[in-house]
Structure formats: structure tokens, C-alpha cells
A and B are shown apart, each in its own frame.
Chain A
Amino acid sequence: MAEEYRSFERGGTGWFLQRVTAAFLVVVLAFHFFNLHFLNHAYEVTFAGTEARMSDVGYFATMWLFLVTATFHGVNGVYNALINQGLTGTTKRVVQVVLGVAGLLLIVQGTRVAMAMSTLI
């Protein structure tokens, strides 16, 4: 099965997911900036305020999705930039592993931080 539709695994998936996450991030990043610089001023941020926001299920879910999509979009973007430079062979493999691990660690740490900020979990 995978053999047959291999084309999708060979770059197409990355390209497509990069676009899907982009569409999501455009909205959420704009919201995030507006929320924490205009609605709430960044210099007035306190743990209590953050906790109040993060304890709303919808907000928590949005922020966690924001973390995951942004990490994917960013790490995949860096990977693409390197592939465009003609990366091949072992170097390419190493870059894949390093970027994959870095992305994974970021998501894990981000999730732990999010849980520490919320009364939900």
C-alpha cells in the first residue's frame, strides 16, 4: 500500500502539511499577538492572569495546537531550507534526526509548561 502511493511520502506530505499548518497559524499567531500585546499588555502579565487564561479548555486546546503546529511548521521550514541547499546522504539523515528530536523536545517541554500553567490538569 505504502509502496503504491509512495509519492505522497516523498515530499508531498511535508508540502501539504506545511500549507495546512500555515493556514491555521496565520489566524492563531495574529490572535496570540493581539491578545498578549493589545488586549492584555505583555508587561502586565502575571502568573495569575496566565493561569486564568490557560484554565479555559478552548484556550488551552488552541494554545497546545498552536505549539504543535508552530513547531512542525518551523522545523519543517528549516528542513526545507536545508534541502534547497542540496543536502544529501548522511548529512541529510543527521539533519532529519536532529531537527526531529529538537521538535519533539520542544513539544514535550511546551506541554509540560502548559500543564504547569493550567488548573485543568
Chain B
Amino acid sequence: MSQSYDRGAVEDFGRWTEFSAGMWAWILHKFTGWVLVGYLFTHIAVLSSAMQGGAVYTETIQTLEGLFVVRVMEVGLLAAAVFHILNGIRLLMVDLGIGLEAQDRSFYASLVITGAIVVASVPTFLSGLGGGA
């Protein structure tokens, strides 16, 4: 044994077709987590406009809400939040030792419900566009 070979992490994305449900759940949970924590900082930054007076605050929010891109990103944020909540509930159950044998099905259920809620919310999230700013 003069030498050995380190193949690195083989679960890198090149092998995504071989990932199991639990692995996907973890990847998506982590990804949506990054999105949400990123948004949290952004959110407080935007709301900080309130410190320069009510008019600036109202103006900032209404301008941003008048942008189509912002609305689309909000739908994305909703998707991330809903999935993180639902999968979070799934993970809390797993932590409590409840329904471990159904962990794959509960992940698929989280995905389906997230999809349904997001699709159903699109009209609300895009309503009033163009009216504001």
C-alpha cells in the first residue's frame, strides 16, 4: 500500500439521478434555508426605509411592488417558505420519532402541497400590478 486514491465526494451533483428522497429533502431544505436567510437580511434592509419617515417607506414598498420582477421573486420566496415550512414539520416529526417509515412519502407530499399552494397563490401575488407605481 504505497499510495491510495481519494475519489472525493461522489454524491456531487453529477450523480443526482441516484439521490434518494431523504437526500433530496435535505438538499431542498438547505437551499430554501439559504434563500430565506438571505431574504431575511434583505427584508430588514428594505423595511429600514421606515426610519427615514413614513413617506419614504410607503414610496419604497409601492415602487418595489410595482415591478414585475419583484412579484415573480415573491412567488419564488413563497415557494421556498412553504416548502421549508412543510418539510420543517416533516423534520420535526422525524426528530420526535414519529412516522419514520413514511419519511419518503411525507417528502413527496410536501412537494405536492407546496406546488399546489404556489400555483393557487399566483393570481394573488400578481394582482394590482401596474396600478400602484
Contacts and interface: CB of A to CB of B under 8 A. Distances in A.
Direct contact of A and B (CB under 8 A): yes
Interface of A: 19, 22-23, 25-26, 29-30, 33, 37-38, 41-48, 50-51, 67, 70-71, 74-75, 77-78, 81, 102, 106, 109-110, 112-113, 116-117
Main secondary structure of the interface of A (DSSP, over half): helix
Interface string B50-70: 110111011001100110000
Contacts of A47: 50, 53-55, 57-58
Main secondary structure of the interface of B (DSSP, over half): helix
B37 A74 contact: yes
Contacts of B88: 22, 25-26
A67 B55 CA distance: 24
Contact of A43 (B34, B85, B95, B132): B132
Given A74-B40, A109-B44, A42 B65 contact: yes
B95 to A, nearest CB: 6
